[in-house]
Amino acid sequence: MTSNPIAETVASLMPRAKAELTELVAFQSVADVAVAPKSECEAAANWVAGALRAEGFQDVALLDTPDGSQSVYGLLPGPEGAPTVLLYAHYDVQPKLDESAWATPPFELTERNGRWYGRGAADCKGGFIMHLLALRALKSNGGIPVSVKMIVEGSEEQGTGGLEQYAEAHPELLTADAVVIGDTGNFRVGLPTVTATLRGMTMIRVRIDTLEGNLHSGQFGGAAPDALAALIRVLDSLRAEDGSTVIDGLPAQARWDGLQYSEDEFRKDAKVLDGVGLTGNGTVADRVWARPAVTVIGIDCHPVAGATPSIPASARAQISLRVPPGQDAAEATELLFAHIEKHTPFNARVSMEQVGQGQAFQADVTSPAYTSMAEAMRVAYPGEEMQAAGMGGSIPLCNTLAALYPDAEILLIGLSEPEAQIHAVNESVSPEELERLSVAEALFLVNYAESKKVERAGLQRSA
């Protein structure tokens, strides 16, 4: 990285950043009481609030949101007349999944092969540390040139919409000229990337019942309707022979015109086993950024351990459907419900419930804030130009903010590049990416403040 005072300051702060991330990762802050006690999220929220107070933030508050989670808010006033920038991250994390598959304990930040491993290290506790690093670097180099609002969500991974509902009920709280969402990531390590689109999502649970109770498979098998077999038929109907998502009435052939994703790169990033083919058709970018994608993320039925020779009377699955920009998540949900009803065999009883939803998002990458970010990334990543890519994941808050504050410019950056393996076992963050993106964010705030000064001066002259 080219030497400059902000970069040098961030580099000097990295040991402190690692210590703080170690403390934050230690909280098992999964916003699902079936997985972790609520006290873990509460402890993480209090840690975040304490960090904001230590940085001089005012009006620091733990906001009780309608879904039962807490978001942390704080305000750091800037110079008079300066623009306001909202910085976003979330402290809740995905479950640890199979702990035995982790090379090191999931809630202990561990350095290995130049990366820091731990649940939430990249998604998105590291994003909060990135914001702190950027602000600290500016404080040490002339001060922060903008007013900063910080919002750190407590249930983003659950998709239950607590912060969105709170923001809609208190629209004055998060008003800003620009928003930096620190919850996406570079296309690859070392390539500065802003996220131009996010797929939306809907999450549903499906239950199929066929019998009053389980039956002996030898006595009744062959004629008694098998609930698990019926569920498998339903789930299989959601994909074509090549693995493409096929939900009756839902368009699935859109094209991605921007940065492309080679199959070789994707196979490496996704760690696809040798000889196993990819699913779907079109380019990889088409499939992961521009089209709907269905995934069965859980099934409840007989476990293999202790299985008995009996016919299942009921079976249940949880289904995630990613919805690209241009498609309404609520309409996609209705189409998914109708598809499942139509494709349930044996006239079995089927019931469904929606457990999460978020709309897709498309940013305006031609806005002035993106010019400021491109200039900042050019310094933080010498020799590289900022790229715009899509992201298959969802951040429902983006659409809420865009609706509430239509004039605000929303930028998406973060630490979740492919090697981070977010949502999987052995999640990690690249400390080099944390350092460079912190520098980029700090320089962006400087550039953005200056661009707003120039804009105001031009308006005054024209008046």
Selection from 100, 88, 97, 96 nearest residue 26 by Cα: 96
d(C-alpha 136, C-alpha 124), whole Å: 19
pLDDT per residue as tens digits for the range 25-71: 999 999 999 999 999 999 999 999 999 999 999 999 999 999 999 99
Please indicate whether residue 330 or residue 458 has the higher confidence score (pLDDT): 330
% of residues, the chain, pLDDT over 70: 98
d(C-alpha 179, C-alpha 405), whole Å: 10
Q: Would the pLDDT of 2 be above 90? A: no
DSSP class of residue 225? Answer: P
Q: Is 92 noted as a catalytic residue in this protein?
A: yes
Mean pLDDT (whole number) for 380-404 = 90
Which tokens go with 237? Answer: 């109907």
The contacts of residue 115 (CB under 8 Å, 6+ apart) are 419, 428, 429, 430, 431
d(C-alpha 21, C-alpha 116), whole Å: 9
CB 260 within 8 A of CB 233: no
Q: Would the pLDDT of 445 be above 60? A: yes
Q: Is 42 noted as a catalytic residue in this protein?
A: no
Edge-to-edge strand list for the sheet holding 293-300: 293-300, 314-323, 200-209, 349-358
Q: In Å, how far are 27, 32, 33, 339 from 37, measured between CA atoms?
A: 11, 8, 5, 36
The contacts of residue 305 (CB under 8 Å, 6+ apart) are none
From the candidates 20, 55, 92, 226, give the one annotated as an active-site residue: 92
3-state class of 24 per DSSP? Answer: helix
Mean pLDDT (whole number) for 4-23 = 98
Which ranges constitute the DSSP H helices of 76-204?
A: 125-139, 162-169
pTM above 0.95, yes or no: no
Edge-to-edge strand list for the sheet holding 147-153: 58-64, 70-76, 147-153, 84-90, 178-181, 409-412
Residue-level pLDDT at 160 = 87
Q: Would the pLDDT of 308 be above 60? A: yes
DSSP codes joined into one string, 328-372: -HHHHHHHHHHHHHHH-GGG-EEEEEEEEEE--EE--TTSHHHHH
d(C-alpha 65, C-alpha 271), whole Å: 38
Q: Would the pLDDT of 234 be above 90? A: yes
CB 208 within 8 A of CB 299: no
pLDDT per residue as tens digits for the range 98-156: 999 999 999 999 999 999 999 999 999 999 999 999 999 999 999 999 999 999 999 99
pLDDT per residue as tens digits for the range 187-218: 999 999 999 999 999 999 999 999 999 999 99
From the candidates 40, 123, 153, 156, give the one annotated as an active-site residue: 156
| Residue 463 pLDDT level (bands cut at 50, 70, 90) | low
Mean pLDDT (whole number) for 79-100 = 96
Question: How many CB atoms sit inside 10 A of residue 170's CB?
Answer: 12
Residue-level pLDDT at 320 = 96
Q: How many residues does the chain have?
A: 463
| Residue 258 pLDDT level (bands cut at 50, 70, 90) | confident
pLDDT per residue as tens digits for the range 120-132: 999 999 999 999 9
At residue 154's C-alpha, the angle toward residues 153 and 155, to 5°, is 105
Q: Which contacts (CB < 8 Å, 24+ apart) does range 75-78 have?
A: 75/147, 75/148, 75/149, 75/150, 76/135, 76/144, 76/147, 76/148, 76/149, 76/150, 77/147, 78/144, 78/145, 78/146, 78/147, 78/148, 78/449
Q: Would the pLDDT of 3 be above 80? A: no
pLDDT per residue as tens digits for the range 266-288: 999 999 999 999 999 999 999 99
d(C-alpha 386, C-alpha 371), whole Å: 10
- For residue 315, the Cα-to-chain-centroid distance in whole angstroms is 29
3-state class of 457 per DSSP? Answer: helix
